[in-house]
Amino acid sequence: MNLFQEGAFNARSGVLPWKVECDALSDADWHWAAARIAEKFWVREVFGIPTGGMKLATALMEYRETHGECLLIVDDVLTTGGSMERMRRKTALALIGVPRVGVVMFARVRPAAWINPIWQLWMPR
């Protein structure tokens, strides 16, 4: 299975001309990414976007700290940012006063300022 695939793919946001097939990533890949994220953010809680963000969220669970500084919202691929924004609103009452930080493995578009891509797949013109 290839990580990057060409073709017409149906997504929540519409038909895409290519996709990132995150099922191609191994458990070791997800744990590697979680370790890199934990180097940058002191995590109190993690919420994964169903279903794509669940492997990353699970890998990040071991890095949670009782006095961590942020609540992470994670996903595998950001296409429009809609799912991340909905989860941000949904978690508004969880850990009030703790900042929400978004992290995605791949961003197909420029993300909102609060979302950090590990890899960005867009290029400024």
The per-residue pLDDT for range 69-108, each reduced to its tens digit, is 999 999 999 999 999 999 999 998 888 899 999 999 999 9
∠ CA(102), CA(108), CA(110), 5° rounding? 65
Look over the chain and give the mean of its residue pLDDT values, rounded to a whole number: 94
Out of 4-13, 18-27, 95-104, least confident range: 4-13
For residue 27 the two structure tokens come to 């458990």
Query: How far is residue 125 CA from its own chain's centroid?
Result: 24
Query: How far is residue 119 CA from its own chain's centroid?
Result: 11
For residue 29 the two structure tokens come to 């890949």
pLDDT tops 80 at residue 37: yes
The dotted CATH code for 27-120 is: 3.40.50.2020
Rounded CA separation 28/55 (Å): 11
Question: Where does the pLDDT of residue 11 fall: very low under 50, low under 70, confident under 90, or very high at 90 and above?
Answer: confident
